[in-house]
């Protein structure tokens, strides 16, 4: 695989004679953080959530423990996601979360690993620098960024080094990445700040407007998983949900059908499909011809929405396949790219001041 275009700008920090830990690749997602350690594979996959004591600033819990606290904490503790739409919204909290996750998998306060971090292709230079600095502050001695679409393709077993067009659609929690890959780089790429959480928000808003009931974000996600779909189903599904009645303030229960849920999430799904069409329209003809035979690769948790692969196939006329492990293939691909760090010339590594 050629190194050209694989990694973003590297950042390097001198740490004297400190011992170095194993190389680490991290899929730092809005919904989940997945950590891959070289030689061990994926060793951690937890929600990107941090619970912080507002009085002391101390981290109370991270990951799954913190997620269970969302919407259930006293006033003194805040449980929230420090990333929004794939980028850092709270630098200090993200740094604390990364430090905790890295500490869980390396088990040494002296570990100073090299890191490969997955990032959306559409992030700004300021957002890119925030990811690098948070990673360095969490204990990394060296940081490289890799686009999520490239990492997803590598993790799904695609030979990205070939002079052949490949299309990757990665639907994450906060962003959707659509890219055409050839010769180890992105030829056309679109990063849309719409993802799985926008589907959840659409369900929440629909229930508030149509049923005058308030539900939490985790309840909205449960509805999406239980009855969400991108196309009409042969047998429509029903699911019940409890929430707070906006008129009386009392708890009540309603029943939703998959048809109603599909109508609720129609707008964000249409935005994702529009990005896929726009990417195909900008694709050079030779690469477009390749894609008609190679097909479209779907990755990310959003690709598991019922019928999403069928909808993409119908609207594009291309063969479509879902990655074998869509939730972990981005982290797996980033981990596989760690092997390229040894061959990388030092001139590609910038020193942090």
The pLDDT profile of the chain, 353 residues, written as one tens digit per residue, is 444 456 654 444 333 323 344 799 999 999 999 999 999 999 999 999 999 888 888 888 899 988 888 877 787 888 888 998 888 888 989 998 999 998 888 876 667 889 999 999 888 899 999 999 999 988 888 999 999 999 999 999 999 999 999 999 999 999 999 999 999 999 999 999 999 999 999 999 999 999 999 999 889 999 999 999 999 999 999 999 999 999 999 999 999 999 999 999 999 999 999 999 999 999 999 999 999 999 999 999 999 999 999 999 999 999 999 999 999 999 999 999 998 876 544 323 433 33
| Annotated binding-site residue? 31 | yes
| Annotated binding-site residue? 192 | no
Q: What is the model's pLDDT at position 107?
A: 74
Cross-strand pairs, 10 = 349
Residue 109 CB contacts under 8 Å (≥ 6 apart), including other chains: 103
Residues 47, 52, 54: CA angle, nearest 5 degrees: 155
| Annotated binding-site residue? 4 | no
The model carries a pTM of 0.87
| Annotated binding-site residue? 76 | no
| Annotated binding-site residue? 73 | no
Residue 290 CB contacts under 8 Å (≥ 6 apart), including other chains: 164, 165, 166, 182
| Annotated binding-site residue? 174 | yes
| Annotated binding-site residue? 173 | yes
| Annotated binding-site residue? 32 | yes
d(CA 303, CA 326): 7
d(CA 53, CA 289): 55
| Annotated binding-site residue? 332 | no
């Amino acid at each position: 695989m050629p190194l050209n275009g694989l990694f973003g700008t590297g950042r390097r920090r001198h740490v004297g004679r400190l011992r170095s830990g194993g190389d680490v690749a991290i899929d730092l997602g809005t919904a989940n953080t997945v950590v891959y350690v070289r030689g061990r594979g994926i060793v951690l996959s937890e929600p990107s959530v941090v619970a912080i004591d507002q009085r002391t600033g101390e981290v109370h819990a991270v990951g799954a423990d913190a997620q269970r606290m969302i919407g259930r904490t006293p006033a003194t503790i805040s449980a929230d996601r420090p990333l929004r739409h794939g980028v850092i919204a709270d630098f200090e909290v993200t740094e604390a979360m990364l430090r905790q996750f890295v500490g869980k998998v390396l088990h040494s306060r002296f570990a100073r690993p090299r890191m490969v971090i997955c990032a959306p292709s559409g992030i700004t230079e300021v957002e890119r620098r925030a990811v690098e600095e948070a990673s360095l502050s969490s204990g990394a001695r060296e940081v490289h960024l890799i686009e999520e679409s490239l990492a997803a393709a590598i993790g799904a077993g695609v030979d990205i080094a070939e002079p052949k067009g490949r299309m990757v659609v990665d639907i994450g929690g906060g962003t959707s990445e659509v890219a055409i890959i050839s010769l180890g780089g992105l030829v056309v790429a679109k990063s849309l700040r719409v993802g799985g959480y926008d589907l959840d928000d659409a369900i929440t808003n629909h229930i508030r407007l149509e049923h005058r009931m308030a539900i939490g974000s985790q309840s909205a996600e449960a509805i999406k998983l239980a009855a969400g779909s991108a196309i009409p189903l042969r047998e429509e599904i029903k699911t019940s949900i409890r929430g707070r009645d906006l008129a009386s303030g009392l708890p009540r229960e309603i029943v939703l059908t998959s048809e109603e849920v599909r109508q609720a999430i129609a707008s964000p799904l249409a935005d994702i499909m529009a990005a896929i069409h726009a990417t195909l329209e900008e694709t050079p003809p030779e690469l477009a011809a390749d894609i008609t035979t190679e097909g479209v690769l779907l990755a990310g948790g959003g690709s598991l929405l019922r019928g999403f692969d069928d909808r993409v196939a119908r609207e594009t006329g291309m063969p479509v396949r879902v990655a074998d492990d869509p939730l972990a293939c981005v982290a797996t691909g980033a981990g596989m790219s760690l092997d390229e760090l040894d061959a990388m010339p030092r001139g590609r590594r910038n020193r942090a001041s």
